[in-house]
Structure 1
Amino acid sequence: MFFLIAIILGAVEGLTEFAPVSSTGHLILVASLLHFTGKTATAFEVIIQLGSIMAVVVLYWKRLWSLFGFYRNEPKRGPHNLNLLHIIIAGIPAGISGILLKDFITSKLFTPASVLVALVVGGLLMIFAERIAASRPGKGTTQLSYGQAFVIGLFQVLSLWSGFSRSGSTMSGGLIAGVERKTAAEFSFILAVPMMLGASGVEFVKDLSYIKADLGFFIVGFIVAFIVAMLAIVSFMKLLKRFTLVPFAVYRFALAIVFAAYMIFSNQL
């Protein structure tokens, strides 16, 4: 049963981490259904997030190396003018906000009620961003400016609100800033690597004792999240060629309703 939990939660993380549907909201709901809570559960979330991040590293390794001046002759796709300064500029707002607001975020923005609100508000933002994009001539730029990177970084601050979705906030910010949808998605994935590695790395050190105690359990979750995330990223990029973010927003609203019903029924809300 313990390893089945690792497989289920690893798959949930991999499926939802890079889609704009809130991996946190899904993990909280599924973990509650499985009655998997406590320090081990918290440490497990860190490990499966690292598994998802490794999927981005593998799929976009040339893109990541190009930030440091390597592989500049790779096929031009997505934000092909991207460099390390784009990542630094986009990471500053969330980095500073995370440090200054850590206590508030931990105490106020991780409750079931706040997650429900974040799911809805995040969905509304995505619909608004798509309306802005639709009103603009053309599909948006594939060349990412430093100003656009900073705007995306400002929207990434919203992802500190648990349930809002980091990919949903950054992709919405990209659309509002005039970036083409696929380009915004790829930049969101790449931006996730340093941001999530930094956050998860700190928690990994704190939770090392729990990880060592059930190493096999954590390894299974990591591998499942890694494999599923790779498949999910490839599938999501294909979906973006056919759909806007609106269907994902509608899904978020449905998830919020299911989440609320479960919380009310289980007296957790």
Structure 2
Amino acid sequence: MFDIIKVVILSLVEGITEFIPVSSTGHLILVNEFIKLKPESFANMFSIIIQLGAILSVILIYFNKLNPFSHKKSASKKRETIEIWKRVIIGVLPAAVLGLKFDDFIDEKLMNPYVVMTTLFVWGIVIIFIEARHKKAKIKSISDMSYKTALLIGLAQCIALVPGTSRSAATIIGAMLLGCSRTVSAEFSFFLAIPTMFGATSLKIVKAILRGTPMSMWQVFLILLGTVLSFIFALIVIRKFMKYVKEHNFIAFGLYRVVLSVVMAIYFLIIAK
């Protein structure tokens, strides 16, 4: 029963923080100080696989928009969907290349609370600064986005390879700097997440399998439960988040990141020591 409570809490944190610009990694590192599944090898596998639930929530919400084979779509709408996927593929290439090359280095050298608290703070300030100076957007739909812009947003996503940056923060802020509206920036960030997170999750699962990490039936059940819960929580958050960005800016998220970084600094540099 205690394991199930842990799974619910960890899945809630993952589902809420994965697609908003606050860093799911930062939250999971902090929460894992108090609530951690055992053994550590299983806990790491759990945190990786439940991201698939969050990915599926994006696919469900935007299925019609992202499905070029729908019989209900006109020819022009199908072409628009294909154009979206072209930009997503271009945008995901930089992170795919760098992620494969530096995955082990990131896990060994950068996946720690000190790096995360620093990037939380720095990018919190960046979000506040950019939002305070955000000009009227020129790009009002993803199909209006040039391939060059998609590639540049993909390069911005690479910054999020550093834990605590937040993949959604890097892509959303990068898109806004390139002239995209907040809604387009958020949607393109969600769409980029599908191949990016699926690829990253698959890579880590394959590595775990090659290392021969065993799992009991109970652990498999916990992972399935966590995946379903992450899907449900992310589904709710994405819908709420898209309503929010239509009427508000991202300054609140920047302020939240700064506060969270201070909380982490107090805990890891003073209390935990």
Tell whether the structures are fold-level matches, with TM greater than 0.5.
yes
Give the equivalent residue in structure 2 for 1:184.
185
Relative to structure 1, is the Cα distance of residues 73 and 254 closer, same or farther in structure 2, using a 3 angstrom cutoff?
Answer: farther
Q: Secondary structure at the match of 2:232?
A: helix
Tell whether 2:15 aligns with 1:6: no
Q: Is contact 1:43–1:210 with CA below 8 Å preserved after alignment? A: no
Give the equivalent residue in structure 1 for 2:47.
45
Residue-by-residue CA offset, 1:67-92 (whole Å, 9 max, x unaligned) = x787654998xx97843221121111
Residue-by-residue CA offset, 1:94-122 (whole Å, 9 max, x unaligned) = 11221233343223221111001110122
CA distance in 1, matches of 2:137, 2:183: 14
Q: Is contact 1:140–1:181 with CA below 8 Å preserved after alignment? A: no
Tell me the TM-score normalised to structure 1 length: 0.89
Q: Which of 237, 251, 257 is 1:252 aligned to?
A: 257
Tell whether 2:235 aligns with 1:236: no
% same residue:
37
- Give, in angstroms, the shift of residue 258 of structure 1: 1.0
CA distance in 2, matches of 1:109, 1:58: 33
Q: Is contact 2:61–2:235 with CA below 8 Å preserved after alignment? A: yes
CA distance in 2, matches of 1:105, 1:34: 23
Aligned residue type for 2:258 = F
CA distance in 2, matches of 1:222, 1:75: 36
Equivalenced residue count is: 263
Aligned residue type for 1:53 = I
Q: Is contact 2:157–2:170 with CA below 8 Å preserved after alignment? A: yes
- Give, in angstroms, the shift of residue 32 of structure 1: 1.0
CA distance in 2, matches of 1:74, 1:174: 28
- Larger mean CA deviation between 138-147 and 184-193 belongs to 138-147
Give the equivalent residue in structure 1 for 2:231.
226
Relative to structure 1, is the Cα distance of residues 217 and 235 closer, same or farther in structure 2, using a 3 angstrom cutoff?
Answer: same
Give the equivalent residue in structure 2 for 1:93.
94
What pairs with 1:90-239 in structure 2 (closer than 5 Å)? 90-134=91-135, 137-138=136-137, 140-142=139-141, 143-207=144-208, 209-213=213-217, 214-239=219-244
Q: Is contact 2:159–2:165 with CA below 8 Å preserved after alignment? A: yes
Residue-by-residue CA offset, 1:121-168 (whole Å, 9 max, x unaligned) = 22123223324423xx45643222111111111110011011110000
Aligned residue type for 2:8 = I
CA distance in 2, matches of 1:180, 1:71: 28
Q: Secondary structure at the match of 1:189?
A: helix
Q: Secondary structure at the match of 1:141?
A: coil
Structure 1 gaps, min length 5: none
- Give, in angstroms, the shift of residue 250 of structure 1: 0.3
Aligned residue type for 1:159 = A
CA distance in 2, matches of 1:129, 1:233: 22
Root-mean-square deviation (Å): 2.4
Q: Is contact 2:6–2:36 with CA below 8 Å preserved after alignment? A: no
CA distance in 2, matches of 1:17, 1:74: 34
CA distance in 1, matches of 2:207, 2:146: 37
Aligned residue type for 2:151 = F
Structure 2 gaps, min length 5: none
